[in-house]
Every structure is written in structure tokens, then in C-alpha cells.
Amino acid sequence: MVRTQIDLEEIIGNMQCPKDFVCYRSEFEQLCEIKYAGTEAFLECLQESPGDCKFSAAFGTKSYCQCPLRIYIAKRLTR
């Protein structure tokens, strides 16, 4: 098994996702819109209603994604 697949399965095994890992199950076709926020810990969320996501955190006028799986996908798979 490729290291990336092992990493993804490890992340999934250590978290609960209210969206049932739709990003992973769709083979990364259904991903929320993000942009790099200049840090390794989170991404800027560009979704219309980010408050609906349990991994979203508002700070000022912006929302940030703290989902470990989405962060891994953005950093390692550049999506």
C-alpha cells in the first residue's frame, strides 16, 4: 500500500466526520473550497456556510478549516 493511502486511512481512523468522509469516498471530487492561510494548522474556508461544519472556526470575518483530513489533502495532494 502506498504511504499516502496509509496516512489517509490513519487520519480517518482517528476522527469522526459528520459528512461521512465524502471527500475521501468521492476520490477527492467533492472537496470544500479552501485556500492556504499561511499556517500548517488550518486552512481558510471559502464555503458559503462554513458554520455548518464542525471543523470550522470563525475568527474575525473569516472562517478556518481545522479538519485533519482536509488539511492533509490540501498539503499532500494539493487539492
Q: Is 66 helix (H, G, I), strand (E, B) or coil?
A: coil
Per-residue pLDDT at 1: 54
Give the pLDDT of residue 78.
79
Task: Supply the pLDDT for residue 37.
Answer: 81
Q: What is the pLDDT along the chain (79 residues), one digit of tens a residue?
A: 578 899 999 999 999 999 999 999 999 999 999 998 888 788 999 988 887 889 999 988 999 999 999 999 998 887 7
Residues 6 or more apart in contact with residue 59 via CB below 8 angstroms: none
C-alpha distances out from residue 57 to 18, 23, 35, 45, Å: 16, 19, 15, 9
Local structure of residue 72 (DSSP, 8 states):
H
**pLDDT value of position 74:** 93
Which pLDDT score is estimated for 49?
83
Residue 13: HSE in the Cβ half-sphere, 13 Å Cα cutoff: 6
What residues make up the domain containing 28? Answer: 3-76
Closest CA to 77 of 18, 13, 2, 16: 2
Query: What total of structural domains would you count in the chain?
Result: 1
